[in-house]
Amino acid sequence: ILNVEQSPQSLHVQEGDSTNFTCSFPSSNFYALHWYRWETAKSPEALFVMTLNGDEKKKGRISATLNTKEGYSYLYIKGSQPEDSATYLCASLGSGGSNYKLTFGKGTLLTVNP
Amino acid sequence: GAGVSQSPSNKVTEKGKDVELRCDPISGHTALYWYRQSLGQGLEFLIYFQGNSAPDKSGLPSDRFSAERTGGSVSTLTIQRTQQEDSAVYLCASRFPGGHTDTQYFGPGTRLTVL
């Protein structure tokens, strides 16, 4: 994998459903993996910064895991709510050959229907 | 506390005109980044400032793009002779002077439309 890739590109779920999406990134030159939530017309909001293989982080109903050896991270949302509707971005630090600039995926657009 | 602010929030310009985009980072944040998101693309790195210096300008797409930062604070991104392919959302982010793995805090962006 040369770029940061996210899947699915978009998904629609019903309120109360649990969901997850995937971020794949180059496992070489890895420094950190960032997750952001970006709502329309707002600033991207930082969710997690993950650095260690096997790391798991949780913030309310949202959690994330990290596998640096195989180059993937999963983001989970438990009991989705309409306010969770947003684009979820992941970004790898190091993929661009430097240890300071983030390389972003194209995002997963989540729509939660009431 | 105040977050990263950007102005204008929207800018519509004619092809060939120059535009200037402004970023006010969080106070005390020494690292500042510019990114842009073109239609259908992910966020793309443009330039990185550490203080007033730009050690990495490699993401600037052409010599029509330039950026500066003064007083270790406000940054401006200037696009000369705008082209339609410059239409995008331009985002600024700043980071506390800790490690590079620390969180980058983003502004709300400037949506640039070149007619």
A112 touching B, CB under 8 A?
no
pLDDT for residue A99 is more than 70: no
Is the Cβ pair B103, A34 closer than 8 Å? Answer: yes
**C-alpha–C-alpha distance, residues A29 and A50, integer Å:** 15
- Widest distance between CA atoms in chain B: 41
Confidence of residue A1 (pLDDT cuts 50, 70, 90): low
Confidence of residue A98 (pLDDT cuts 50, 70, 90): low
Sheet strands side by side (includes A62-67): A5-7, A19-24, A72-77, A62-67, A56-59
Chain B residues with CB-CB distance to A under 8 A? 3-4, 31, 33, 35, 40-45, 48, 56, 59, 91, 100-109
What is the 3-class SS of chain B, one letter each residue? CCCCEEECCEEEECCCCCEEEEEECCCCCCEEEEEEECCCCCCEEEEEEECCEEEECCCCCCCCEEEEECCCCCEEEEECCCCHHHCEEEEEEEECCCCCCCCCEECCCEEEEEC
**What are the average pLDDT values for consecutive 10-residue runs of chain B, which has 115 residues?**
90 97 94 93 92 90 95 95 97 85 91 97
Q: Which of A2, A35, A43, A104 to mutate to test the interface with B (most CBs of B within 10 A)?
A: A43
For residue B43, give the chain A residue with the closest CA.
A104
The predicted structure's pLDDT at residue A95: 60
For A51, which of B43, B101, B104 is closest by C-beta distance? B101
Q: Which of A7, A100, A104 to mutate to test the interface with B (most CBs of B within 10 A)?
A: A100
CA B91-B94-B97 angle, to 5 degrees, is 165
Residue with tokens 């985009």: B21
Average pLDDT over chain A, rounded to an integer: 92
Is the Cβ pair B48, A100 closer than 8 Å? Answer: yes
**C-alpha–C-alpha distance, residues B80 and B92, integer Å:** 19
Q: Residue B55 carries which side chain, given as an amino acid letter?
A: P
**C-alpha–C-alpha distance, residues B109 and B37, integer Å:** 10
Is the Cβ pair B41, A103 closer than 8 Å? Answer: no
